């Protein structure tokens, strides 16, 4: 009469595998979310800098000879 013990062992192993899968999935989601937030912050900071610099140029005395300093070589840095 090994049947019930085998079923219990298989159920227990399946439950452990399911919990492990959920934990790994949660870790992956948190890791990807953290990376996405970091990249979004980098992009928004560069865009905010360009926007504020352009507002500064458009107000006041209208000094159009002012140059924007670029910190990066990507498209957003190239816009500055």
Whether 31 contacts 25, CB under 8 Å? no
pLDDT the model gives residue 56: 79
Longest dimension (CA), the chain: 93
More confident residue, 30 or 61: 30
pLDDT the model gives residue 40: 93
More confident residue, 64 or 6: 6
User: Residues 9-50: pLDDT tens digits?
Assistant: 999 999 999 999 999 999 999 999 999 999 999 888 888 888
Q: Using CA atoms of 11, 16, 18, 21 in order, give the dihedral in degrees to the nearest 10.
A: -160
Task: Report how far residue 70's alpha carbon sits from residue 46's, in angstroms, rounded to the nearest whole number.
Answer: 9
Beta-carbon-side half-sphere exposure of residue 27 (alpha carbons within 13 Å): 6
pTM over 0.85: no
């Amino acid at each position: 009469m090994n049947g019930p013990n085998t079923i219990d062992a298989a159920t227990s192993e399946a439950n452990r595998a399911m919990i492990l899968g959920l934990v790994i999935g949660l870790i992956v989601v948190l890791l990807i979310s953290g990376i996405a937030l970091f990249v979004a912050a980098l992009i928004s900071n560069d865009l905010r800098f360009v926007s504020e610099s352009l507002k500064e140029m458009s107000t006041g005395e209208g000094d159009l000879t002012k140059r924007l300093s670029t910190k990066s070589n990507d498209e957003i840095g190239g816009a500055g």
